[in-house]
């Protein structure tokens, strides 16, 4: 039986439950291993005037204390721009920015050494918000634009207009395993590290550059991560550098594991955004002119902010055809830790804005937002082309909206909600449907590649190595399924090996929802090479016993753990027996596969091209219940429908949809990053930062998938599922906005994101004033 399409359990599932699955800090320390800590900047912005490490060196158990003076290579690194110092020697740009590295025989000694370091900074006023950065023209990278049609003319002629700003806050990745790394010394100055990283090649490159080594002298391995969500794509580099620097200086293994508090305080998060928008529309609600000016909070250094802003611009349309549109984006430099990748990579911030506009248009016209979405949804030509010129092929969005409206009983529930709000003096309900059209591919073209190494052994078992990293999303399980089916063997005969830069070179990060697409395809290509050699040998082998048929490799089958010629299917050889024979016949049973995504090309200067291989689409209906007196918001119902092609593993994909949606719901309703006026993060623990917990999961949570075999160009006709469901969490925010708009006589209501209880309560308090300011009190 084929394993692709089956809900095979996650290959580490048992280990997760029993505790046998090893993470970085579970690896037993070797006898002379050191523990690493760091001392960071006490202020958000300023010039270093002195760093005194003399007392730290005297602390019992402290083995070494290191500053920028101990770096043998380059002290600047970065994924796009090399603008971030590993250990600054002149200026600091955020609270906690590492300045001094301490190595101790114990964690306690390293911590004591950290406390003994004395750092003096000539402090300057920090820039801590987007508005101040805009006023001061503090920007990172260039402005980017995408345009279509004639916005200015369409805006001037628009029958109805809205114009305002939309704010969305950041989000902490909140992976369960903090940033962690162990470095081991090798011969001749070589270093090997075990790193909790989504990006082994990037980590390898940064280590080599900063330590003054060649990439061939650095090996980075990653067995698994305890979550990442984008937060370990680039930001795993600094802890890896800390450990590796200590190893380079001492010749001893070194381990760094951030505490949860430190991790949340000094690592980057999802970018907060401020968006200035204009939307013109007709009496039916059809959008005729849209202008979006996005400003993101990039933090202190560029990190991946340019790529994130690029994806924001590419998802500003979301599921809707915009005939006349002007989109631009700027990244603001502020004095918080450099913000970074997070599941969705800039897409959620864009989609939230256009969904907000849809809600605003509906409320301004006194119409149902679902009808506005239907009216503006991508459809047939010519309304199937994005602002950047890519055709939305195999578009099921209209079908998804209609099907979900029917199965969720949306119209009936909408009527019930609005009737309830007319009679209840204590509670308020809201309901909304939002959509997602998420492009799958890295928007940086060269990253759309993967390679795999497949080794078949003489007992018929198989090892697979790829550049994919496992962070709980099941990429290794899916790759096992693909490889098992390639050879027609049970999945327990296949194992996916620890990801390592010495087996798979120059790999892309496991990100952009493309882990299985790239690495699964590469593994299948490697398998096909081996199978072709096997088939040639098998044809000759079976011809010896079947004199009536000439050798024909095309007739050789690999099924059910056997090898046979389909013209004489009664004569079968066990796969393990056959591989042993093949080895004796000197058949090469190993291969490397390489895959590059075809048909993608985007010119970021012109804002035109095909940046995506395909789109993953879906929609969700959310219903919320609000306490009118406290603002307490509960999500009471979710109905979700997605097109993810033909699933490689339905069990894992179900889990990804649930997890992605809940994480998006958290961003939209409960998770709120709060900083003080000194640039210190106040919400840095589970007690002050509220991710969704089990009691936040709605009792009504229905998930369904559209049957779609039309994505034949991707591996096994599947579609990526890691990121798209997160954007559907916006439906919970939209439902809250709908609830507030139902308060008698107010019409549209401004609501930033997240819609925390406090934000909802303040909106309820300010509704009359807001309505008067923005809409003259008219519905």
List the catalytic residues. 723
Distances (CA, A) of 103 to 11, 35, 245, 279: 36, 6, 10, 57
CA 433, CA 734: separation in Å to the nearest integer?
8
φ, ψ dihedrals at 357, nearest 5°: -60, -45
Give the CA count within 13 Å in the CB-facing half-sphere of 600: 21
φ/ψ region of 735 (left if φ > 0, alpha if ψ in -120 to 50, else beta) reads alpha
Burial class for 691, CB neighbours closer than 10 Å (0-12, 13-18, 19+): middle
Helices marked H in 50-125:
54-58, 107-116
Beginning with the edge strand found earlier in the chain, give each strand of the sheet holding 462-466 in spatial order.
494-496, 462-466, 449-456, 590-596
What residues have CB less than 8 Å from 504, skipping those under 6 apart?
451, 452, 453, 465, 466, 467
What residues have CB less than 8 Å from 560, skipping those under 6 apart?
488
Could you tell me which of 576, 578, 589 has the C-alpha nearest to residue 542? 578
Q: Residue 625: beta bridge partners? A: 429, 634
DSSP codes of every residue in 616-659: EEEEEEEEEEEETTT--EEEEEEEEEEE-BS-S-HHHHHHHHHH
Tokens representing residue 771 in the block: 């309505």
Q: Which residues of 598-607 are buried (b: 16+ CB within 10 A; e: fewer)?
A: eebebebeeb
Tokens representing residue 400 in the block: 């998804």
Provide the angle, in degrees to the nearest 10, between the axes of the packed helices 347-365 and 305-314.
40
Q: How many residues does the chain have?
A: 779
Under DSSP, the state recorded for 179 is: S
Q: Residue 184: beta bridge partners? A: 192
Burial class for 148, CB neighbours closer than 10 Å (0-12, 13-18, 19+): buried
Tokens representing residue 454 in the block: 């497949």
CA 637, CA 645: separation in Å to the nearest integer?
25
Q: Residue 602: beta bridge partners? A: 609
Q: Contact 630/415 with Cβ under 8 angstroms?
A: no
> How far is C-alpha 610 from the geometric centre of its chain's CA atoms?
21
CB atoms closer than 10 angstroms to residue 189: 14
Could you tell me which of 343, 349, 293, 354 has the C-alpha nearest to residue 318? 354
Under DSSP, the state recorded for 755 is: -
CA 313, CA 388: separation in Å to the nearest integer?
9
Q: What is the dihedral of CA 273, 274, 276, 280, to 10 degrees?
A: 50
Q: Contact 471/723 with Cβ under 8 angstroms?
A: no
CA 40, CA 631: separation in Å to the nearest integer?
39
Tokens representing residue 102 in the block: 């301490």
CA 537, CA 552: separation in Å to the nearest integer?
10
CA 768, CA 16: separation in Å to the nearest integer?
52
φ, ψ dihedrals at 636, nearest 5°: -100, -15
Give the CA count within 13 Å in the CB-facing half-sphere of 333: 15
């Amino acid at each position: 039986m084929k394993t692709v399409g089956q809900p095979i359990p996650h290959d580490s599932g048992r280990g997760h439950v029993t505790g046998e699955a090893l993470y970085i800090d579970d690896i037993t320390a070797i006898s002379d291993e050191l523990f690493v800590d760091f001392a960071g900047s006490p202020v958000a912005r300023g010039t270093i005037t002195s760093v005194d490490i003399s007392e730290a060196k005297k602390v019992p158990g402290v083995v070494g204390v290191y500053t920028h003076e101990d770096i043998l290579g380059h002290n600047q690194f970065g994924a796009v721009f090399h603008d971030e110092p590993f250990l600054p020697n002149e200026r600091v740009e955020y609270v906690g920015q590492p300045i001094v590295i301490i190595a101790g025989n114990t964690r306690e000694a390293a911590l004591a050494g950290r406390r003994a370091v004395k750092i003096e900074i000539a402090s300057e006023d920090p820039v801590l918000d987007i508005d101040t950065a805009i006023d001061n023209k503090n920007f990172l990278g260039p402005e980017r634009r995408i345009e279509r049609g004639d916005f200015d003319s369409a805006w001037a002629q628009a029958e109805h207009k809205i114009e305002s700003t939309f704010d969305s806050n950041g989000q902490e990745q909140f992976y369960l395993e903090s940033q962690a790394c162990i470095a081991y010394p090798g011969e001749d100055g070589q270093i090997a590290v075990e790193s909790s990283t989504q990006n082994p090649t990037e980590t390898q490159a940064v280590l080599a550059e900063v330590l003054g080594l060649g990439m061939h002298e650095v090996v980075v391995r990653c067995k698994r991560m305890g979550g990442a969500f984008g937060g370990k794509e680039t930001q795993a580099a600094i802890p890896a550098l800390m450990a590796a620097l200590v190893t380079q200086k001492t010749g001893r293994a070194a381990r760094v594991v951030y505490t949860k508090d430190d991790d949340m305080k000094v690592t980057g998060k999802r970018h907060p955004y401020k968006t200035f928008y204009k939307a013109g529309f007709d009496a039916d609600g059809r959008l005729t002119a849209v202008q979006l000016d996005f400003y993101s909070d990039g933090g202190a250094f560029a990190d991946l902010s340019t790529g994130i802003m690029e994806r924001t611009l590419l998802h500003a349309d979301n599921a809707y055809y915009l005939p006349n549109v002007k989109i631009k984006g700027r990244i603001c430099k502020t004095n918080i830790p450099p913000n970074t990748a997070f599941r969705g990579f800039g897409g959620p911030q864009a989609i939230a804005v256009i969904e907000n506009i849809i809600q605003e248009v509906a409320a301004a016209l006194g119409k149902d937002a679902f009808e506005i979405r239907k009216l503006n949804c991508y459809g047939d030509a010519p309304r199937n082309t994005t602002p950047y010129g890519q055709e939305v092929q195999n578009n099921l969005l209209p079908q998804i909206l209609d099907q979900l409206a029917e199965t969720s009983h949306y119209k009936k529930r909408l009527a019930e909600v609005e009737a309830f709000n007319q009679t209840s003096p204590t509670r308020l309900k809201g309901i909304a449907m939002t959509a997602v059209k998420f492009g799958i591919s890295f928007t940086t073209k060269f990253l759309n590649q993967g390679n795999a190494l497949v080794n078949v052994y003489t007992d018929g078992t198989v090892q697979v190595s790829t550049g994919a990293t496992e962070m709980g999303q099941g990429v290794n399980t899916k790759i096992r399924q693909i490889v098992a089916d390639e050879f027609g063997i049970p999945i327990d005969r296949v194992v996916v090996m620890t990801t390592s830069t010495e087996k798979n070179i120059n790999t892309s990060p496991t990100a952009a929802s493309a882990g299985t697409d790239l690495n699964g395809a590469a593994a299948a290509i490697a398998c096909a090479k081996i199978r072709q050699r096997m088939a040639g040998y098998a044809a000759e082998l079976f011809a010896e016993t079947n004199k009536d048929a000439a050798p024909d490799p095309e007739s050789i089958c690999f099924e059910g753990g056997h090898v046979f010629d389909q013209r004489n299917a009664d004569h079968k050889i066990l796969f393990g027996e056959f591989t042993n024979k093949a080895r004796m016949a000197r058949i090469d049973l190993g291969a490397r596969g390489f895959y590059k995504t075809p048909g993608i090309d985007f010119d970021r200067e012109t804002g035109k091209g095909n940046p995506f291989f395909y789109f993953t689409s879906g929609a969700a209906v959310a219903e919320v219940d609000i306490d009118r007196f406290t603002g307490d918001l509960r999500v009471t119902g979710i109905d979700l429908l997605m097109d993810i092609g033909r699933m490689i593993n339905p069990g894992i994909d179900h889990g990804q949809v649930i997890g992605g949606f809940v994480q998006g719901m958290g961003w939209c309703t409960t998770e709120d990053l709060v900083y003080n006026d000194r640039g210190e993060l106040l919400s840095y623990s589970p007690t002050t930062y509220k991710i969704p917990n089990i009691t936040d999961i709605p009792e009504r949570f229905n998930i369904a998938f559209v049957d779609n075999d039309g994505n034949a160009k991707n591996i096994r006709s599947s579609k990526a599922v890691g990121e798209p469901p997160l954007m559907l969490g916006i439906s919970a925010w939209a439902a809250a906005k709908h609830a507030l708009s139902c308060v008698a006589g107010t019409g549209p209501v401004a609501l930033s994101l997240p819609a925390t209880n406090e934000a909802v309560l303040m909106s309820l308090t300010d509704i009359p004033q807001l309505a008067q300011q923005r809409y003259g009190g008219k519905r």
